[in-house]
């Protein structure tokens, strides 16, 4: 317990004398190491999350659970034809054919 008290006492004395260059260097070093530690923890966390997602996808692929539980739906030919006709009707409405001749804008 006295070890941590001593560390905090030293940090407080360094922070109180932060305007002196001798005290600023250890503070900067502590700050830099804290930044590096946070960045390393972020990288490790991101890698762990990525690996866990990758492993879960591999498990789903190997078990075939998602693929086998939902069989593919059979296309209904009548519904497909009506959908294609609707798309054709939209195309003719939105893109009308140009008139017989091109109008000269200068006249």
Which range marks the domain in which residue 44 is found? Answer: 2-70
Task: Identify the top-confidence range among 5-9, 20-24, 50-54.
Answer: 50-54
Grade residue 100 by pLDDT with cuts at 50, 70 and 90. Answer: low
Residue 15: inside a domain: yes
Report the domain count for the chain: 1
Residue 49: inside a domain: yes
How large is the angle between the packed helices 2-16 and 21-63, nearest 10 degrees?
120
Residue 35: inside a domain: yes
Grade residue 106 by pLDDT with cuts at 50, 70 and 90. Answer: confident
Instruction: Please state, in angstroms and as integers, the Cα–Cα distance from residue 65 to each residue in 51, 52, 68, following that order.
Output: 20, 18, 5
Residue 45: inside a domain: yes
Residue 31: inside a domain: yes
Residue 27: inside a domain: yes
Residue 32: inside a domain: yes
If one counts every other C-beta atom within 10 angstroms of the C-beta of residue 1, the result is 5
- pLDDT tens digits along 24-80: 777 788 889 999 999 999 999 999 999 999 999 998 888 865 555 666 677 788 888
Instruction: Please state, in angstroms and as integers, the Cα–Cα distance from residue 104 to each residue in 41, 50, 101, 107, following that order.
Output: 69, 62, 9, 6
Contacts of 13 (CB under 8 A, 6+ apart): 23
Residue 53: inside a domain: yes
């Amino acid at each position: 317990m006295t070890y941590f008290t001593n560390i905090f006492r030293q940090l407080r004395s360094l922070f109180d004398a932060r305007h002196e260059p001798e005290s600023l260097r250890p503070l900067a070093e502590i700050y830099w190491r804290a930044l590096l530690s946070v960045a390393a923890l972020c990288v490790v966390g991101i890698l762990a999350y990525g690996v866990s997602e990758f492993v879960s996808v591999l498990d789903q692929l190997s078990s075939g659970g998602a693929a086998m539980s939902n069989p593919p739906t059979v296309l209904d030919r009548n519904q497909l034809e009506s959908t294609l006709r609707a798309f054709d009707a939209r195309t003719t409405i939105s893109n009308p054919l140009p008139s017989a001749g091109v109008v000269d804008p200068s006249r």
